[in-house]
Amino acid sequence: MLTNSRLVHQAHDHGRCINAALSRAEALCTENQARLTPTRESVLRLLWQSHQPLGAYQLQDQLSKQSGKNIAPPTIYRAIEFLLQLGLIHRIASLNAYIGCPFPGSDHSNLFMICSDCGSAAEVSHNSINDLLQSASDKANFTLQGQSLELFGLCPNCAGPKIQLDSQQSQDPSHE
Amino acid sequence: MLTNSRLVHQAHDHGRCINAALSRAEALCTENQARLTPTRESVLRLLWQSHQPLGAYQLQDQLSKQSGKNIAPPTIYRAIEFLLQLGLIHRIASLNAYIGCPFPGSDHSNLFMICSDCGSAAEVSHNSINDLLQSASDKANFTLQGQSLELFGLCPNCAGPKIQLDSQQSQDPSHE
DNA sequence: TCGCGAATTGTTATATTATAACGTAACATG
DNA sequence: CATGTTACGTTATAATATAACAATTCGCGA
Ligand SMILES: [Zn+2]
Ligand SMILES: [Zn+2]
Ligand SMILES: [Zn+2]
Ligand SMILES: [Zn+2]
């Protein structure tokens, strides 16, 4: 079972998340003879600035600010497309948003636990879930090729121990 | 385990699907003191015309043609919203499309098997999957509130005994 | 180092999906 | 009726995503 759910919801040295992601990205690019150009790297960095998925136009804003010049949507979408192809990021369909993948390259289930309160999204890969989905597909004679699994609810920080004061942000704003 | 996957991929009397859906809808509306107005019923009918999800603007086109007058997007989205609330239809996030729910009212898992070739979507509710997702959530201290589970691949018709001639449409166009 | 083809990015316009805001009509109830 | 509520009509616009084509940069062999 692979997951980054602990990490996502605890205070941690997030710089390490970013660095690790970039190392993996460089390795994967080399392996695939693809180029991690400045735009692509910037987008990947932005997606790793927090553990919350970002929309394409949020990326556009931030990248435009960073670079001083106005970046148009196609530039963003091209970078997104590239990163998706390599498996470095995922698209979260229900949010029209994108997030870095903590374990690119390895087979995994593309399952997210998305907090309705703080917006964080932790990725989980559970062999037993994959197996079960595969066997359900088999039973239905369905040739499984891909999947998008999104769970909605409250992350440990937002569920409390404080048992939801209101719907105030009670979570630890450790690294944003 | 609830599923309509057999039905979806076999020739069948689809009129029964539609009638059953409308009966359930009327019952649910009565139960909830809600009104199944002509617009809402038309949208529900359209969503049950096939086992393929339809987008809001496809619904708009078809409803406009049916009624002779031009129906604006808000009308469609209001009907969709209403039907979603009652659980009579589901939104398929990865397709920005909507489909009738074969078992509204009963608790189920909101899991779809979507054919990349013919576009059909069968709904499956598997207790063991639900249990597993619940226990995975528990382990991660995640308070599960909702889910969107979408599997992509080939339905029995499109995977064929014909073993994919090309990517021609080889499926039986039983009822569209 | 030059030049060429391929890959990447810039730019403009537009498609697609969804909602805001506000007015009007239909409905249910006493 | 009179009234409050619910649903619908209409116009405009927001938010997300892509098409099409021009300009640039990059890798690499001549
Ligand atoms: Zn982190
Ligand atoms: Zn949270
Ligand atoms: Zn049917
Ligand atoms: Zn199919």
Closest partner CB to B146 (pick from A3, A145, A152): A152
Q: What is the pLDDT of residue A162?
A: 60
Tell me which DSSP letter residue B115 carries.
Answer: E
With 80 as the cut, is the pLDDT of residue B57 above it? yes
Give tens-digit pLDDT for B69-127: 999 999 999 999 999 999 999 999 999 999 999 999 887 878 999 999 999 999 999 89
CA atoms A73, A78, A81, A83: torsion sign: negative
Q: What is the pLDDT of residue A161?
A: 65
Give tens-digit pLDDT for A68-90: 999 999 999 999 999 999 999 99
CATH classification at residue B130: 1.10.10.10
Inter-residue long-range contacts of A40-46, CB under 8 Å, 24+ positions, other chains counted: A40/A79, A40/A82, A40/A83, A42/A66, A42/A67, A42/A79, A43/A76, A43/A79, A43/A80, A43/A83, A44/A79, A44/A83, A44/A88, A44/A89, A44/A100, A45/A18
**What residue type is assigned to position B153 of the chain?**
G
Q: Are A2 and A125 in contact (CB under 8 A)?
A: yes
Centre of ligand 1 from the C-alpha of residue B130, in Å: 29
Q: What is the pLDDT of residue A11?
A: 85
> pLDDT-based confidence at A4, cuts 50/70/90?
confident
CB within 8 Å: A148 and B150: yes
Q: Based on the structure, what is the number of domains in chain B?
A: 1
Tell me which DSSP letter residue B72 carries.
Answer: P
Report d(CA B158, CA B165) in Å as an integer. 10
Closest CA to A65 of A44, A47, A42, A82: A42
Q: Which residues of B touch A (CB under 8 A)?
A: 3, 5-6, 9, 93-94, 111, 113, 115-116, 122, 124, 126, 128-129, 132-133, 136-137, 140-156, 159
| Candidate from A60-74, A87-101, A159-173, B118-132 with smallest mean pLDDT | A159-173
Q: If you average pLDDT over every residue of chain B, what do you get?
A: 90
CB within 8 Å: A152 and B148: yes
B48 CB neighbour count, 10 Å cutoff:
22
Report d(CA A45, CA A51) in Å as an integer. 11
**Domain, as residue range, for A24:** 2-175
Residue B84 burial class via C-beta count within 10 angstroms: exposed 0-12, middle 13-18, buried 19 and up: middle
Which strand C bases fall within 7 angstroms of a protein CB?
A: 7-13, 16-21, 28
Closest CA to B114 of B45, B48, B52, B35: B52
In chain B, beta strands by DSSP E: 2-3, 89-92, 97-100, 111-115, 121-125, 143-154
- Interface residue of A1, A113, A157, A164 to substitute, partner B, most B CBs within 10 Å: A113
> pLDDT-based confidence at A169, cuts 50/70/90?
very low
pTM for this predicted structure = 0.88
| Candidate from A18-32, A42-56, A159-173 with smallest mean pLDDT | A159-173
**What residue type is assigned to position B89 of the chain?**
I
